[in-house]
Amino acid sequence: MTSPDRPKPARKIFDASTLVVLALVLTGAFFVYRREGGRGLLHILGEDSWLFVEILPKVLAGCLIGAFVQLLLPREVVARWVGGDSGLTGLAIATAIGAILPGGPFTIYPLAGAFLAIGAGVGPAVAFVTSWTLIGFNRAVIWEVPFFGIDFVILRAVASLPLPILAGFLAQALARVVPGGPRT
Mark whether 40 and 77 lie in a shared domain: no
DSSP code per residue over 57-87 = HHHHHHHHHHHHHHHHS-HHHHHHHHSTT-H
**What is the gyration radius of the CA atoms in the chain, in angstroms?**
20
What's 125's DSSP letter? H
Residue whose C-alpha is closest to residue 110's, from 77, 132, 93, 95: 132
Q: Which residues contact 145 (CB under 8 A, 6 or more apart)?
A: 153
Mark whether 36 and 83 lie in a shared domain: no
> pLDDT tens per residue, the chain (184 residues)?
445 555 666 667 778 888 999 999 999 999 999 999 999 999 999 999 998 899 899 889 888 988 898 899 899 999 999 999 999 999 999 999 999 999 889 889 999 999 999 999 999 999 999 999 999 999 999 999 999 999 999 999 999 999 999 999 999 999 989 876 666 5
Residue 51 lies in a domain: yes
Residue 170 lies in a domain: yes
Q: Which residues contact 132 (CB under 8 A, 6 or more apart)?
A: 98, 99, 101, 108
Residue 61 lies in a domain: no
Number of domains in the chain: 2
b/e map 88-100, b = 16+ CB within 10 Å: eebbbbbbebbbe
Mark whether 51 and 79 lie in a shared domain: no
Mark whether 79 and 123 lie in a shared domain: yes
Question: Cα separation of 95 and 156, whole Å?
Answer: 15
pLDDT of residue 1: 46
Report how far apart, in Å, the C-alpha atoms of 31 and of each of 9, 43, 140 are.
Answer: 39, 14, 39
pLDDT of residue 8: 60
- Which amino acid is located at 54 in the chain? E
Mark whether 33 and 115 lie in a shared domain: no
Domain of 151 in residue numbering reads as: 73-177
**CA angle in degrees (0–180, nearest 5) for 173-97-78:** 65
pLDDT of residue 46: 92
Q: How far is CA 52 from the centre of its chain?
A: 19
